[in-house]
Structure 1
């Protein structure tokens, strides 16, 4: 089940890197990878109540991929989501599927729709706890 965040976010700039993982579908027109123009995003996330737990998961991603300049493979992110996420979607590797603009509220939506395909959004806070998002696709 997808979280519905309301307010109080910090952060939102995605970690940059090299690598693959872009399906190429659903890119919007006029901006990098459709940022700001798409109406649907496909994403995975990890939700933790405690900041220390999300930072621990993020550190594993940094050590495994981000520090080397690589993108985090969705399957590896999914394994971490099964281990760390406190959201019911964690059992599905954090997979939220496709969701439209307006379904998620507040900072969660802002970060999801601002993160380029294949990029990992660093931890940020919502009213539900601390999240990390990896975007897998965009479409209109």
Structure 2
């Protein structure tokens, strides 16, 4: 139980300093790995997440899609089944993934831009995020799985 258990890890870029803002899929994927393990529920420790999303340019449109999710599932406290989320993504999403029900598949930590990654990796499995803004527009995310 010596000094090793409390020693700080040398992790290049630490904390909330400036991150490269390149838009989304950046080749610098290793930079985001310094923030692993931020919670005891396992949300901050996974390396990959499987997600679907809805992307809209206008906030009003994403709110409309989210309301549809709420009316159908979320208002009852139920989790939205991926097939139902996919129908709404196909109807509302302005992302090319909308044609596939918003399916983004598995992606590693460090691949997606700041707020999108933060929400994707902090949303519980089976849960749907509230609408949020990124550099690409407004999103709602359904987290389908996690793995290391």
Output the TM-score relative to the length of structure 2.
Answer: 0.74
Question: Which structure is higher in RCO with an 8 Å CA cutoff and minimum separation 6?
Answer: 1
| Consecutive unaligned residues in structure 2, runs of 5 or more | 1-22, 26-36
**1:106 — aligned with what?**
114
Question: Which of these two proteins has the greater Rg computed from alpha carbons?
Answer: 2
Deviation, structure 1 residue 69: 1.0
Task: Determine the structure 1 residue equivalent to 2:48.
Answer: 40
Give the C-alpha shift of residue 105 in structure 1. Answer: 1.4
Q: Does the alignment pair 1:31 with 2:54?
A: no
The equivalent residue for 1:96 is 104
User: What is the count of residue pairs matched by the alignment?
Assistant: 114
Q: How does 1:1-140 map to 2 (within 5 A)?
A: 4=24, 31-32=40-41, 34-140=42-148
Once the two structures are TM-superposed, the CA of residue 4 in structure 1 deviates from its matched residue by 1.9
Q: Look up the SS of the partner of 1:137 in the other structure.
A: strand
Q: Which runs of 5+ in 1 are unaligned?
A: 6-27
TM-score by length of 1: 0.78
